[in-house]
Structure 1
Amino acid sequence: MSAEELRRAAEITPIAAVQNMYDLATRRHEDVADHAAAHGIAFHVAALSVKLSDEQCDRLSAAVA
């Protein structure tokens, strides 16, 4: 789901959560995470293919908090 798709969906119905892949190397869906955070929508991270360090987990949590 893109940030634009999320905005359009929210015009139709309340959105509680979105789940996208989140790749720390490319941060491909960071705009979606930012939009979700700004609008009180939970952003769930789909299965990651890397092991995150404690620092990376903290940064990811802060980005979506």
Structure 2
Amino acid sequence: GRAVFMEEFWQHDISASYVLSDELMIYGGVKNVTGELPWITEYAFPHSPRGTFYFMGLNWGSN
């Protein structure tokens, strides 16, 4: 495949989860807290060109 060389890039992510019961856990976080933008290319994986990204969700099930 093609090789792409980029300058050094630091991305900081934060996530947390909380168990509400034996069957329910809530989680959320922020990816790329500082909003750093990587070099734009289709080879920038695993970094996203979107900048800061927020997420949250629920895990429901039994152990």
TM-score w.r.t. the length of structure 1 is: 0.26
TM-score, reference length from structure 2 = 0.27
Larger CA Rg, structure 1 vs 2: 2
The structure with the largest strand share of the pair is 2
